[in-house]
Amino acid sequence: MNKLTPKASFRKLAAIYEKMVAQYGEAAGAIDMTCSGCTDNCCLSFFQHHTYVEWAYMWEGLNQLPADRLEEIKSKAQDYVDQAQRALSAGQRPHVMCPLNIDEEQGICGLYKHRLMICRMHGVPNMLVKPNGQQIQFPGCYRCQELTEEYEKDGKMAPVVNRTNLYKDLVMLEMQFVGKNLRQLPKVDHTIAEMIVLGPPRLK
Ligand code: SF4
Ligand code: SF4
């Protein structure tokens, strides 16, 4: 498999993200869901990301920010990592605002165009069939679950985004982006804050 340049990889990733946005929009539109006025900002959720290509693309976005803004984000990211570590050591699930969020009340992402796959899919019902055949279902966020219940009261079925093909495309792109070193490199399992503190991924 031919290795892609970072530029070509990022173009492909942006195209995968566009498909996600379209499918998210269809599912959210069907149940009339928006994030407006949400009281449970999902950017406070503790979750990890798993691809080098998304990590690198996030840094492509970060590197376009003014230097002082980037320094502020790095400092928030370090705080996040420290707070998360304290929570985990106390046996609690961290509940810390993502360092890229720029408005806690409105839940505005400060790196919207470069936000990662899990950020894009969190809200709506979605499912994934893994290569081993295992099917995983995600019910969507609390608001989505309430709206889905309401929508399905009179027998209709709310749409579920099948992200299997998007996931396959992302896995393929990861291989094309990293190249033959992928098997030798450590598995990516980082929060956004960790990806910021660590800096852009090293692929050698
Ligand atoms: S990257 Fe953006 S959308 Fe994702 S958790 Fe952070 S602020 Fe929220
Ligand atoms: S996806 Fe759901 S939890 Fe996240 S901000 Fe929107 S409504 Fe709130």
Residue 140 CA to ligand 2 centre (angstroms):
9
Distances (CA, A) of 174 to 51, 59, 89, 135, 177: 7, 16, 32, 22, 5
> Is the backbone of residue 133 left (phi > 0), alpha (psi -120 to 50) or beta?
left
Listed residue (115, 122, 114) closest to 163, CA to CA: 122
Q: Is residue 192 within 6 Å of ligand 1 at its C-beta?
A: yes
Note the pLDDT tens digit of each residue in 49-102. Answer: 999 999 999 999 999 999 999 999 999 999 999 999 999 999 999 999 999 998
Report the DSSP pairing between strands 135-138 and 108-109: unpaired
Write the single-letter amino acid at 147: L
Which pLDDT score, from 0 to 100, does residue 106 have? 61
Which pLDDT score, from 0 to 100, does residue 37 have? 80
Note the pLDDT tens digit of each residue in 51-62. Answer: 999 999 999 999
- Partnered with residue 27 across adjacent β-strands are none
* Residue 39 pLDDT > 80: no
| Class of residue 23 by CB neighbours under 10 A (exposed 0-12, middle 13-18, buried 19+) | buried
Q: Where are the alpha helices (DSSP H) in the chain?
A: 6-30, 52-62, 67-89, 117-121, 142-151, 164-178, 192-198
The rounded distance, in Å, linking the Cα atoms of 110 and 101 is 5
Note the pLDDT tens digit of each residue in 136-185. Answer: 998 888 999 999 999 999 899 999 999 999 999 999 999 999 998 899 99
Q: Is residue 122 within 6 Å of ligand 2 at its C-beta?
A: yes
Note the pLDDT tens digit of each residue in 106-145. Answer: 668 889 899 998 888 888 989 999 888 999 998 888 999 9
Which pLDDT score, from 0 to 100, does residue 1 have? 73
Residue nearest to atom 8 of ligand 1 (CA): 43
| Class of residue 192 by CB neighbours under 10 A (exposed 0-12, middle 13-18, buried 19+) | buried
* Residue 48 pLDDT > 80: yes
